[in-house]
Amino acid sequence: MTEQINNPLHGLTLEKIVTELVEHYGWSNLGRQISIQCFINDPSVKSSLKFLRKTPWARRKVESLYLTTQQSVWKK
């Protein structure tokens, strides 16, 4: 239980994270930030979620970018 309280991603779905990153960066900039094919070639939230759910290293990169982005937005 304590782990979830201290987890900044607690309560966020992967879909919400991807959607907010796309709204902030757009697909092309997101593909530059994290170079994975699901963000570069014919990107969609659905295909990205499918890939990210199967690929832990890519999911960690997306979650890390989300947290970094949120921190920079909060500072403004």
Q: What pTM, to 2 d.p., does this model score?
A: 0.86
The answer to whether residue 5 is domain-embedded is no
CATH number of the domain within which 20 lies: 1.10.720.30
Q: How many domains does the chain have?
A: 1
The answer to whether residue 29 is domain-embedded is yes
pLDDT in tens, 9-39: 888 999 999 999 999 999 999 999 999 999 9
What is the share, in percent, of the chain residues with pLDDT greater than 70?
89
Confidence band for 72, pLDDT divided at 50, 70 and 90: confident
User: Taking CA 9 as the corner, what is the angle to CA 4 and CA 15, rounded to the nearest 5 degrees?
Assistant: 130
The answer to whether residue 24 is domain-embedded is yes
The answer to whether residue 42 is domain-embedded is yes
The answer to whether residue 2 is domain-embedded is no
CB-based contact 43:31 (threshold 8 Å): yes
Domain holding 55, by residue range, is: 11-75
Chain-centroid distance of CA 12 in Å reads 11
The per-residue pLDDT for 4 is: 64
The per-residue pLDDT for 6 is: 81
